[in-house]
Amino acid sequence: MENLREKAHVMNEMEIRRAAARIAHEILEKNRGTENLILIGIQTRGVFLAQRMARKIQEIEQKDIPVGMLDITLYRDDVDLALPHMVRKTEIPFDITGKNIVLVDDVLFTGRSVRAALDELMDFGRPSIIQLAVLIDRGHRELPIRADYVGKNIPTSRREVVKVRLQECDGEDSVVIYERMETGELSANQS
């Protein structure tokens, strides 16, 4: 990773599995079961986490939970629309009006991704409630957004980068903190 130095491994495969299972249990408890429950993952890793949670809920309740996916690229307020962007798939093939939606993402940071997801969701209908589940909450919010379900809170500095890797897209499950290196640090490390 360019200009980044690994600082700490904060979650391994087992810890991620446990966190996702715990969140699935908490979702069931807070929503009093599966009635009207829908999970929607934010592309990319939020989709895989939502699918994992839905499988865990199915294992517990013996009921399938609909899972959708959102690509928020065109809804972000920090993307230059004049530049080309990779737009992934948004797929919500069911009515969300009156439903209990749990938005799922890998990392909650400034809150801007979640705001974009909320804007896009409203184009699909008017849910009864929208809740937020994240694997990692690293702080530094710029918007008044908080998660209802958190796998792990990790205090970070703005100089740090949290990378979530999942088996489905990265070939492994891990959460690692990297630190951005200053230009002088790069030169010293390369000599």
CATH number of the domain at 52, please.
Answer: 3.40.50.2020
Give me the pLDDT at residue 185, please.
55
Residue 140 in domain = yes
Residue 27 in domain = yes
- Residues in the chain where the model's pLDDT stays below 70: 1-2, 78-85, 183-191
Cα–Cα distance for residue pair 31/1, rounded to 1 Å:
40
Give me the pLDDT at residue 8, please.
97
Give me the count of residues in the chain.
191
Residue 191 in domain = no
Distance of CA 180 to the CA centre of its chain: 22
Give me the pLDDT at residue 1, please.
47
Residue 165 in domain = no
Give me the pLDDT at residue 191, please.
40
Give me the pLDDT at residue 187, please.
44
Residue 80 in domain = no
Residue with tokens 């959460």: 175
Beta strands in the chain (DSSP E): 4-11, 37-42, 67-70, 100-108, 129-137, 149-153, 160-165, 174-180
Cα–Cα distance for residue pair 2/181, rounded to 1 Å:
9
Biggest CA–CA distance in the chain, Å, is: 60
Residue 41 in domain = yes
Q: Which domain, by its residues, includes 114?
A: 12-74+86-157
The DSSP H or E segment spanning 122 is helix 112-122
